[in-house]
Structure 1
Amino acid sequence: MSRQLLAMALAPLLGLFILGIGNGFLATVITLRLDAAGESPVVIGWVSSAYFIGLALGAMLNDRLLLRIGHIRAYGSFASLVAVTVLLQGLVSEPWAWFLLRLIGGWATVGVYLVIESWLLTAGEAKARGRLLALYMISLYAAGVLGQLLLGVTEAMGGAASFMVIGMLASLSVLPMAMIPRVSPLIEKAEPLSPLRLIILTPTGVMGSFGSGLLVAAIYSLLPLYLQRIGLSVSQIGQMMAVVVLGAMLLQYPVGRWSDRHDRQLVLIAISAFCVVIAVALLALPLNPWWLAGLLFMLGGGVFSLYPVAVGHAADRAPAGALVRMSQGLLLINAVGSTVSPPLISPVMAAIGDTGLLWAFGVLGFALLVFFSWRRSVRPAPIPVAPFSPSTPMSSVGAELVVTEALIQGASEHEHMEDLSAAVPEVAVAEPLVGPPTADESHVSYFHDVPEENEEGSRAST
């Protein structure tokens, strides 16, 4: 990866990292504040779901602003809106107001993600997309880990301190985008890309994004419940969740580099198979703390790598001018998967017990494995075309080097005539040296310049 490409990617990644620190613990702060205010779990659930509804709405609409005003100004608009909604939550405490603010906040947050993803996809070549998207996910997860560490500090301050810190971080995230880059990626004329066309264009990318949403949402929403029911304390649950995010962060770049050097369909097949193996191991092996931590570390690395590889595969198939719309569509599909994941998987846990989550991981991973393998057999990776090299008959130089009998005869007659011209200089030679070309030699023409007669030569000949 070139230094120029890294320099262009530095500003959006740094901005995302700063904003992600605050977003990393905002949802936890809201849940804790509503619970402390005596609100019911139903109200807490509705306020939390408002964020995901905003994500889905923003994924459908935010591309218009980005295409109209460009990456830098769009990022400033979305990040400022995030800051305003968070600060307003520190001023008002009514649940209906928080529902509305979380809805707007989700809409603005997905706009930030759209700007960052389209920036990286447009700025980088296909052979570097996997690594760029891996750096994108690493920045996001590292910010989430740091945000969780700030949760206790800001909550200890009391009052609206947490919302003030999150709002300030969202505002500060605009500075790298406004100050560091000299140029932003060019946005070509946007090509309409309907959901149906996106599915036809890259079914592997669509299914990878949807499956990633299902698995990631299950980890965030249901894995803590599973860990609590197997007897872990609150502090141990926090440590295990940190291990999951750490695995996601550390394995992103190796997987992204691997996907840049090999067919991304094969990488998706391998990741799906890996997730199935980890789910089976969690079901079969005795879950002592060390085994559990190691398996959760690998589970995080596998599950969280699905989305960037799927997006990279889709970008390889996208037509020119459609990267922004493609990124928007995949974000929407990923948000839909995240929204429906808990309602789909929690009944399984209620029916067959706590291990229903692990069975769900295994079944979903196996379904993705089958689908990716089927798509690989239906539409394999294109075979690279050999580089062009001109053959002798097709190049102009080669045509001049074709040696025929007529050429040899013409050369010998030319030497003979030169000898005559040297011996009798006053006699001008005007005889054609070579006869008409044969049918086999019609593609080659030979010309010989005959010296024009001067006045003295004309008088001498007369």
Structure 2
Amino acid sequence: MSRQLLAMALAPLLGLFILAIGNGFLATLITLRLDAAGESAVTIGWISSAYFIGLAFGAVFNDRMLLRIGHIRAYGSFASLVAVTVLLQGLWLNPQAWFVLRLVGGWATVGVYLVIESWLLTSGDQKVRGRLLALYMISLYAAGVIGQLLLGVTDAMSPTAPFMLVGMLASLSVLPMAMIPRVSPLIEHAEPLPPHRLITMTPTGVMASFGSGLAVAAVYALLPLYLHSLGLTVQQIGQMMAVMVLGAMLLQYPIGRWSDRHDRQLVLILIGAFFALISLGMLLLPSGQWLLAGLLFLLGGGVFALYPVAVSHAADRAPAGALVRMSQGLLLINALGSAISPPLITPVMSVLGDEGLFWSLGGLGVFLVLFFIWRRSVRPAPIPAAPFTANAPMTVIGAELNVTEELLQGAIEHEHHEDLSRVVPEVEVAEPLVGPPREEDAPITYFDVDAEAGAMPGAERHDRTPS
């Protein structure tokens, strides 16, 4: 990677890192504050769900704002809105108000991720996008670990201090982006595939993406409640959450590379069985901080690895012309699972206690295993179209980072070796997915954008067909 490209990507990655430190412990902080205020698990679940609902809405609509005003101004707008919502939460503890603030905060946060991911996407060609994505994920997960560790530090301060810190970090994250003396490119808008088309194309990918959203949201929003019930301090809860995120960061790539060498359906079955067993271990094994940390490390690795393997499996099934839209659709399905997860699981916790979280995760793992086994018996594994690419389910534009030249070539070769009616039996060959290019598949015109004015002057035009 050239120094020029690294310098170009440094500012958005630094901005992301600063903001993600505060965002990394905000969900845990909100859960603990509501619990300390005597709110029920159901109320906490709905407030946690509001954030993921905002993510889903933002994943669909925020790119339109980015198209209008450009990357730098959009980033400043979204980050400022994140800071305002967090500071208002620190000033005013009210469940109804917090629901609205978390909804708006989720919408603004996914806008930040949209700006960063699209900036990285257009900064380099296909040969370096994988490395840029790796830097993106390292920044995101490392900030998450640091943020969880800061939870214990801020607990010794005033009740409003953690919210003030998150707001300050969100505001400071604007500086690296605002100080760049460079014109930023625009992104193209692409609609995801509708759910019924995704289901007919890759039922396993859809169910795995949905299940991943359920599991990840439950772990982020409700695990602090369980840890608090064990008698852990706020600092210890932050440390345990950091261990869980660290497991996600360190185990995701080895599991993904393993899926390149084996049947991905079998890997998904084993991942579902793995986190079901870890959930059972959380319920049955004797308590102890070292044992708890080890189980959480493994739980994070298993839960967070489910989504990228699901996307890789779906890419093996999809025709080359549908790869981008398929990935975008899976991201939205993942966000939908995240949005409904806390309201579904908190009633179980109200009946069974805080251990209901792991009964729910264990049941989800068993269900996914049975579903994957059934699908594997119906449709055998295809030849992998391309190697696994680790990714974080943040926004729809982030899906395009995974559609590399190697992936497209693999999908094209896969179509030559497999009869389409057998690979995708529910989709007719005459469908536009594999037929002549449709109007929305035509070449897209890009414009140079003035970073200060955010306008589109009569500048040089470039026509190219999206990959």
- Whether the TM-score (by the shorter chain) exceeds 0.5 is yes
**Aligned equivalents of 1:266 and 1:3: distance in 2?**
41
Contact 1:62 1:111 in 2 (8 A): yes
* Secondary structure of residue in 2 paired with 1:304: helix
Paired-residue identity, %: 75
**Aligned equivalents of 1:91 and 1:352: distance in 2?**
33
Shift of 1:19: 0.9
Q: Which range is displaced more, 260-269 or 273-282? A: 260-269
Structure 1 segments unaligned to the other structure (5+ residues): 389-462
TM-score using structure 1 length: 0.65
**Aligned equivalents of 2:259 and 2:373: distance in 1?**
16
Aligned residue in 1 for 2:110: 110
* Secondary structure of residue in 2 paired with 1:63: helix
Residue 54 to residue 354, structure 1, CA distance change in 2 (3 Å)? closer
Aligned residue in 2 for 1:301: 301
Shift of 1:211: 1.0
Shift of 1:380: 1.4
Contact 2:273 2:366 in 1 (8 A): yes
Contact 2:151 2:234 in 1 (8 A): no
Contact 1:198 1:329 in 2 (8 A): yes
**Aligned equivalents of 1:255 and 1:15: distance in 2?**
29
Q: Which range is displaced more, 123-132 or 14-23? A: 123-132
Q: What is the letter of the counterpart of residue 361 of structure 1?
A: L
Contact 1:59 1:328 in 2 (8 A): no
**Aligned equivalents of 2:299 and 2:62: distance in 1?**
32
Aligned residue in 2 for 1:380: 382
Residue 72 to residue 242, structure 1, CA distance change in 2 (3 Å)? same
Residue deviations 1:226-248 (CA, integer Å, cap 9, x gap): 44555656655444333222212
Residue 230 to residue 91, structure 1, CA distance change in 2 (3 Å)? closer
- Indicate the RMSD between aligned Cα atoms, in angstroms: 4.4
**Aligned equivalents of 1:84 and 1:117: distance in 2?**
23
Contact 2:264 2:381 in 1 (8 A): no
Aligned residue in 1 for 2:212: 212
Aligned residue in 1 for 2:250: 250
Note the 1:57-456 alignment, pairs <5 A.
57-69=57-69, 71-89=71-89, 97-117=97-117, 135-154=135-154, 156-158=156-158, 161-178=161-178, 187-188=187-188, 190-191=190-191, 193-229=193-229, 236-258=236-258, 267-282=267-282, 285-311=285-311, 317=318, 323=324, 329-349=329-349, 356-375=356-375, 377-378=379-380, 380-381=382-383, 385=413
Contact 1:130 1:312 in 2 (8 A): no
**Aligned equivalents of 1:368 and 1:181: distance in 2?**
49
Contact 2:67 2:186 in 1 (8 A): no
Shift of 1:374: 4.9
Shift of 1:76: 3.4
**Aligned equivalents of 1:200 and 1:77: distance in 2?**
39
Residue 226 to residue 94, structure 1, CA distance change in 2 (3 Å)? closer
**Aligned equivalents of 2:360 and 2:33: distance in 1?**
32
Residue 357 to residue 22, structure 1, CA distance change in 2 (3 Å)? closer
Q: What is the letter of the counterpart of residue 240 of structure 2?
A: M
Contact 1:130 1:308 in 2 (8 A): no
Larger RCO (CA within 8 A; separation ≥ 6): 2
- Number of matched pairs: 385
Contact 1:208 1:310 in 2 (8 A): yes
TM-score using structure 2 length: 0.65
**Aligned equivalents of 2:121 and 2:381: distance in 1?**
23
